[in-house]
Amino acid sequence: MNDLYIIITASLVASSCALLGCYLILRKMAMVGDAISHAVLPGIVIAFLISGSRDSMTMLIGAGLIGILTTFLIEFLHKKARLQTDASIGVTFTWLFAIGVVLISLFAGKVDLDQDCVLYGEIAYVPLDTLIIGNQSIGPRALYIMGMILTAIILFIVFGYKELFLTTFDPAYATAIGISTTLWHYLLMGAVSATTVASFESVGAILVVALLIAPAATAYLLTDNLKWMLVFACIAGVAASVTGYYIAVWLDGSIAGAIAMMAGIIFIIAMLFSPTHGIFTKKFSRTAAADS
Partner 1 sequence: MNSLLDFFSFADPNIRFVVIGSVLLTASSAIVGTFTFLHKKSLVGDAIAHAVLPGICLGFMLSGTKNPAYLIAGAFVTGWISLIGVEYITRHTRIKEDTAIGLVLSVFFGIGILMLTVIQKSGNAAQSGLDHFLFGKAAALVGQDLFVFGTVAVLLLIAVFLLFKEFALLAFDKDYAKAIGLPVRGIELTLTSLIVLAVVIGIQAVGVVLMAAILITPAAAARFWTNKISVMITLASIFGAFSGLSGAYISYIAPAMPTGPWIVIVISTVAFISFFFAPKRGVINRLLRQRNIRRTINDENVLKTLYQLSEESRNFFIQRSAEEIIRRRKFSLETLGKILKRLERQGYVERTGKHWSLTEEGKNRGQRVVRIHRLWELYLTTHLNIAPDHVHDDADTIEHLLTPELEAELEKLLNYPKVDPHKSEIPYS
CB of 133 to partner 1, least distance (A): 34
CB of 290 to partner 1, least distance (A): 19
Region binding partner 1 by CB under 8 A among candidate stretches 24-32, 53-61, 192-200, 231-239: 24-32
Residue 108, interface with partner 1 (CB under 8 A)? yes
Q: According to CB under 8 A, which one of 207, 219, 230, 236 is a site residue for partner 1?
A: 207
Scan residues 123-162 and list those touching partner 1 (CB under 8 A).
none
Region binding partner 1 by CB under 8 A among candidate stretches 43-51, 91-99, 156-164, 182-190: 91-99
Residue 189, interface with partner 1 (CB under 8 A)? no
Residue 280, interface with partner 1 (CB under 8 A)? no
CB of 55 to partner 1, least distance (A): 25
Scan residues 218-237 and list those touching partner 1 (CB under 8 A).
220-221
Residue 91, interface with partner 1 (CB under 8 A)? yes
Q: Which is nearer to partner 1, 101 or 152 (CB)?
A: 101
CB of 28 to partner 1, least distance (A): 6
C-alpha distance from residue 176 to each of 31, 164, 165 (Å):
28, 15, 14
DSSP string, the chain: -HHHHHHHHHHHHHHHHHHHHHHHHHTT-HHHHHHHHHHTHHHHHHHHHHHSSSSSHHHHHHHHHHHHHHHHHHHHHHHTS---HHHHHHHHHHHHHHHHHHHHHHTTTT----HHHHHH--GGGGGGSEEEETTEEEEEHHHHHHHHHHHHHHHHHHHTHHHHHHHHH-HHHHHHTT--HHHHHHHHHHHHHHHHHHHHHHHHHHHHHHHHHHHHHHHHTT-S-HHHHHHHHHHHHHHHHHHHHHHHHHHT--HHHHHHHHHHHHHHHHHHH-TTT-HHHHHHHHHHHHH-
Q: According to CB under 8 A, which one of 10, 18, 34, 164 is a site residue for partner 1?
A: 34
DSSP string, 135-173: TEEEEEHHHHHHHHHHHHHHHHHHHTHHHHHHHHH-HHH
Q: According to CB under 8 A, which one of 50, 102, 155, 183 is a site residue for partner 1?
A: 102
Residue 111, interface with partner 1 (CB under 8 A)? no
Q: According to CB under 8 A, which one of 94, 137, 151, 180 is a site residue for partner 1?
A: 94
Residue 271, interface with partner 1 (CB under 8 A)? yes
Question: Could you list the residues that contact partner 1 (CB under 8 A)?
Answer: 25, 28-31, 33-34, 38, 77, 80-84, 86-87, 89-91, 94-95, 97-99, 101-102, 105-106, 108, 115-116, 119-120, 206-207, 209-210, 212-214, 217, 220-221, 248, 251-254, 256-261, 263-264, 267, 271, 277, 279
